Amino acid sequence: MASHYLLGIDTGGTYTDAVLFDETRGVIAKAKDLTTRHDLAVGIAGAVDAVIEKAGIPVSAISLVSLSTTLATNALVEGQGGRAGLVMIGFGPEDLKRDGLETALGSDPVIFLPGGHNVHGHETPLKLDALEEALPVLSKSVSSFAVAGYFAVRNPAHEMRVRDLIRDVSHLPVTCSHELSSKLGGPRRALTTLLNSRLVSMIDRLVGACERFLENRGIHAPMMVVRGDGALISAAEAKIRPIETILSGPAASLVGARYLTGLDNAVVSDIGGTTTDVAVLDDGRPRLDAEGAMVGGYRTMVEAVAMRTYGLGGDSEVRINDRGLNAKFELGPRRFLPLSLLAAKHGDVVLPVLERQIRTAHVGRHDGKFAVRTGVPDYLASGLQAQEQALFDRIGEVPVPLDQLLTTTPQKATLDRLVARGLVHISGITPSDAMHVLGRQGQWNGEAARLGLALAARGRDGAGRLLAETPEALAEKIVNQLTRQSCEVILAACLIDDGVNGVYTRESVEIDRALSRKPGIIRFGVTLDRPLVGLGASAPVYYPAIAEMLASQSSIPDDADVANAIGAIVGQVRATVTVFVTSPAEGVYVVNGAGESLRLTDEAESFVIARERASSAALAQARLNGADDPILDLREEIDAPEIEGSRKLVEARFLAAASGRPRIAAD
């Protein structure tokens, strides 16, 4: 029988990873290519072509493709997305002030319609006049619509009528709030629906570009996308509900960590070039954020991993405060382009400048730093102020040393604004350069790293002492600082997950004494109750020391550098549906969820119908999401207290979860 290969793809901030996987033999081949932010499909093509060539397999052997992406997360964080029209049914303008909805809406249009339902599914008559009047003009100024109805999770009929009207008139994508969440809380559900609508066209472009690339390469296989809770969803469903892909990348890393280590309980820390992501595995599954994913300052109703992200990575800026008697080192949160990486591409420019600077007798404030354009399309540089444009024009595709670029003090703030807009990279020493000097990394230009650290080492602290006697001594200080800050962010994330508030790991005397092993009559110690799993391309060089400082067991799997891509392919499809039964009056039972409201007079019968509805809907959704042969799990939560000797049903919830592996292409 021919082998079936599974292709996992992860688009990260720096690299796009691709993995070819066999369910019996594991990872067959892996490859990386730089992420092309202006067109993610270019980076995907580079990584996929490389991994297929490495594996030496025919494309016809690939039977499943799965993608994890940070596109949705980045878009929400950066305030990007299409213009959406919001339709609120049964709500008023005052409801916009709840849960950040007004801020999120910004200048996008909103229409309020009379209608909606109550907690038992009873309706207030829906009036469509305002929508019918506005639609012909509104349809030309937005790219999608979001519809949120009062208690729509109990009865979605009004949302569905509004959706059908909008589609008939505008032919634009429409998202209804009941399709995204079964939780109560109308304004937050409306916020989630609005954000989803803004992402529709963006995710559609990414998934569509991926599908076209696969088609062009002759790869005819089902395509899946990782959700924010680590489960898989079909590409078609991801296009409809792109909001579910927020935190897709971090979720995939947790699923990958579970597969690679076999650990059911672990703290997973993923170090990249820019950030460190920390999350917890409990009983083999990612711990989820009970309040809903928090992205870009907005609390959504999307189930996603409880991931804490910190601005600390291998490419973090090294900041040296030399004003005190003892110099202090701080890493991040800003990312620098490592000197060793810059010189790998532009050695003929970078090395002579560093050599010139090191021959001078005095220490320059901009020594060892360069500026270079990021390479984004020109239209993204529109709207620059005169001084910004003038400085930007002096920076090209070839690095410019800052000691020649910046001739006045105000220009430093101008340069920082260009960096903040993503137009310019600043290059300088980073932990990656320190690792090159120490011989623990070697993929880029080690000579540039050594010269950069030699320049920085010439600085002096407040007592007049050199910052370091040698580049190696300075490199050790930088790596030690990364170890210490990594421990602090891991502890901070775990304390939050434990519900411990008010402990600031950067400022705590007790944690400082525990991590630094300071002697004293009272001996402080701190550790984790489970192993620390280190992920990321640089995990093997950083995490042994981090685990040692935390007095914890470490686990760094062989394929830690592509854990996200592995997680994208080994996950399961999972669909959950909740159906409610309430009793608004004695002897009356109302079934809500997974269809129209149903009114009955027998409690047992209403429970039977609710179980059947939840089960059927979960199985159907799992199959729609791409599951081959889903397995059903049904839970019941019944609130029926005794009141004055009589049982009173408040609410019964029937929670069905259907899960299974995604279907693969047939031979």
Q: What are phi and psi of 69, to 5 degrees?
A: -150, 150
Q: Which amino acid is at 208?
A: G
Relative to beta strand 223-226, strand 400-401 is: unpaired
pLDDT at residue 1, rounded to an integer: 40
Nearest to 367 by CA among 479, 457, 471: 457
Which amino acid is present at 317?
E
Which residues of the chain are in CATH 3.40.50 domains?
84-196
Determine contact, residues 126/89, Cβ cutoff 8 Å: yes
CATH 3.30.110: which residues of the chain?
572-660
The two structure tokens encoding residue 35? 């992420």
Q: Where are the domain boundaries for CATH 3.30.420.40 in the chain?
A: 5-77+204-308+565-569
What order of strands is seen across the sheet that includes strand 110-113? Answer: 110-113, 84-89, 144-149, 174-176
CA 206, CA 229: separation in Å to the nearest integer? 20
Residues of the chain with pLDDT under 50: 1-2, 666-667
Distance CA 94, CA 87 (A): 14
CA distance 168 to 51: 45
* Site of tokens 């004003």: 323
362 exposed, middle or buried (CB, 10 Å; 0-12, 13-18, 19+)? exposed
Domain at 5-77+204-308+565-569: CATH code? 3.30.420.40
Handedness of CA 112, 114, 118, 120 (dihedral sign): negative
Q: What is the pLDDT of residues 103-149, one digit of tens each?
A: 888 888 999 999 988 877 778 899 999 999 999 988 888 888 999 99
As a whole number of angstroms, the distance between CA 240 and CA 565 comes to: 23
**How many CA within 13 A on the CB side of residue 268?**
34
> Rounded to whole angstroms, how far apart are CA atoms 204 and 465?
58
- CB atoms < 10 A from the CB of 395, how many? 19
Q: What is the pLDDT of residues 469-480, one digit of tens each?
A: 999 999 999 999
**Over the stretch 197-208, which tens digit does the pLDDT of each residue have?**
887 777 777 788
Residue 250 · residue 270 · CB < 8 Å: yes
Closest CA to 48 of 14, 25, 26, 16: 16
d(CA 203, CA 226) in angstroms, rounded, equals 13
pLDDT of residue 32: 87
Exposure string of 404-422, with b = 16+ CB inside 10 Å and e = fewer, is: ebbeeeebeebbebbbebe
User: How far is the C-alpha of 438 from the C-alpha of 581, rounded, in Å?
Assistant: 65
Round to whole Å and give the CA distance between 316 and 272. Answer: 10
In angstroms, what is the C-alpha Rg of the chain? 28
How many other CB atoms are there within 10 angstroms of residue 492's CB atom? 20
CA dihedral 427, 428, 430, 432 (to 10 degrees): 60
Q: Tell me which of 3.40.50, 3.30.110, 3.30.160, 3.30.70 is the CATH number of domain 572-660.
A: 3.30.110
Q: Which residues make Cβ contacts (< 8 Å) with residue 207, sequence separation at least 6?
A: 67, 223, 225, 235, 238, 239
CA 220 to the chain's CA centroid? 28
Domain 84-196, CATH: 3.40.50
H helices within 97-230, ranges in order? Answer: 101-105, 129-138, 157-170, 186-216
The helix-helix angle for 471-497 and 446-457 (nearest 10°) equals 90
State pLDDT tens for residues 494-540.
998 888 888 889 889 999 999 999 888 998 999 999 999 999 888 99
Task: Write the DSSP assignment of 438-463 as a string of letters.
Answer: TTS--SS-HHHHHHHHHHHHT-B-TT
**CA–CA gap between residue 592 and residue 86 (Å, rounded):** 24
